[in-house]
Amino acid sequence: MPTPHPPHDAAPLAERLRAQGLRLTSQRQRVLAAVAGLEHATPEAIATRLREEAGPDGAAPDTSTVYRTLELLERLGLVWHTHLGKGAPVYHAAEHPHLHVVCAGCGAISSVDPALLDSAAERLAAELGFSLDVGHVALSGTCRACRDRVGTEP
Amino acid sequence: MPTPHPPHDAAPLAERLRAQGLRLTSQRQRVLAAVAGLEHATPEAIATRLREEAGPDGAAPDTSTVYRTLELLERLGLVWHTHLGKGAPVYHAAEHPHLHVVCAGCGAISSVDPALLDSAAERLAAELGFSLDVGHVALSGTCRACRDRVGTEP
DNA sequence: CTTACTGCAAACACTTTGCAAAGTA
DNA sequence: TACTTTGCAAAGTGTTTGCAGTAAG
């Protein structure tokens, strides 16, 4: 079983930055750690978490830095993001990609095995030459609870 | 083969509005017609189109009216929208729902048969009690052209 | 020391809301 | 007339950008 909250091993970050002549900064380390420690983290949520961690006196990375850093980390392959529908995208630590399923009624998010779309991906590849990126968007629908609720509360 | 630009039969609109004690206005007719006449229309694109149709002197519906109207038309089942990723959602006339596939590289949009996800939908229903709304989000990936371009222009 | 990075503030894109005037039934 | 809609203007999110000062290598 995977470690719940990996204390974020910073090594890959330092390496990949160095490989491109980029610099290791505390902001970059902190943003990466925040993404790793949160689930389905929006940029806003990440910024908030960083402010909490910094405390009332400490300085947290600026919002614009959070955005810029997320973009960078994604280019480096350390994080990825998914659009859950409307609103802000959510970021994940790179590890095991997964597919999201969101309830349009209550917003509940489930993670499912990306293999769910394997056959669809194969058909798209064969018929359109299109290679599916399973993780980048979430599937939308209605969860059992919301479906049961129909008719119960008009 | 389907009619290219159906001249938008307004009957269903009038009926459904009346059925709910709502009113038929020219704005509502115009917004519906614009959605029917455009493909993958964002609210902004719809507003622009309406401005063009109104001409330099005529009055086009206000942006806020466009948003309110799209929401209404969707409740009435006359249009539906899809999130293509980041940015504004796109609206479609209700008719035949379809699934969108977007290239992350060039933004090209393909429409595919929703049946593509039938087996995935069945598994989600069986395993999670989740009913998939196939049209609400687009699948993301890379189209053949963008894939071929990799390595050609670094 | 050189050049990348950050914080700040302002601008942007997309939507929503309150309210008085206008329009439909 | 009674009640729904609209337009306008302003406020709300979510995100990006220009730039001068700060800091990593």
If phi > 0 it is left, if psi is from -120 to 50 it is alpha, else beta; for residue B82 that is beta
Strand D lies under 7 A from the Cβ of residue B69: yes
For the cut 60, the answer to whether the pLDDT of residue B7 exceeds it is no
Q: Where are the domains of chain A?
A: 11-94, 96-153
Higher pLDDT, A69 or B5: A69
Residues 6+ apart with CB under 8 A from A92: A35, A39, A40, A41, A79, A80, A81, A82, A98
Flag whether A146 is marked binding. Answer: yes
- Of all residues in chain A, the one with the smallest CA distance to B140 is A133
CATH 3.40.50.300 fits B96-153, yes or no: no
Quick one: pLDDT at residue B151? 55
CA atoms within 13 Å, Cβ hemisphere of A8: 19
Quick one: pLDDT at residue B15? 95
Chain B residues within 8 A of A144 when measuring between CB atoms: 128-130
The answer to whether residue A128 neighbours chain B at the CB level (below 8 Å) is yes
What's the rounded Cα separation, in Å, for the pair B114 and B134? 6
What's the whole-number mean pLDDT along residues B2-24? Answer: 74
Q: How far is the CA of A107 from the C1' of D20 (A)?
A: 43
Neighbours of A82 (CB within 10 A): 23
How distant is the Cα of B101 from the closest Cα of chain A, in angstroms?
9
The answer to whether residue B120 neighbours chain A at the CB level (below 8 Å) is yes
The answer to whether residue A129 neighbours chain B at the CB level (below 8 Å) is yes
Quick one: pLDDT at residue A101? 93
CATH number of A11-94: 1.10.10.10
Asked whether the beta carbons of B105 and A134 are under 8 A apart, the reply is no
- Of all residues in chain A, the one with the smallest CA distance to B110 is A128
Lowest-confidence region among A110-119, B115-124, B144-153: B144-153
Listed residue (A4, A27, A5, A23) closest to A15, CA to CA: A23
Mean pLDDT, consecutive 10-residue segments, chain A of 154 residues? 44 93 97 95 96 92 98 96 90 86 89 92 94 89 85 49
What is chain B's mean pLDDT, rounded?
88
What's the whole-number mean pLDDT along residues B4-15? Answer: 65
Environment class of B23 (CB within 10 Å of its CB; exposed 0-12, middle 13-18, buried 19+): exposed
What's the rounded Cα separation, in Å, for the pair A119 and A126? 11
The answer to whether residue B141 neighbours chain A at the CB level (below 8 Å) is yes
* 3-state class (DSSP) for residue A35: helix
| Residue B150's pLDDT band (cuts 50, 70, 90) | low
Asked whether the beta carbons of B132 and A144 are under 8 A apart, the reply is no
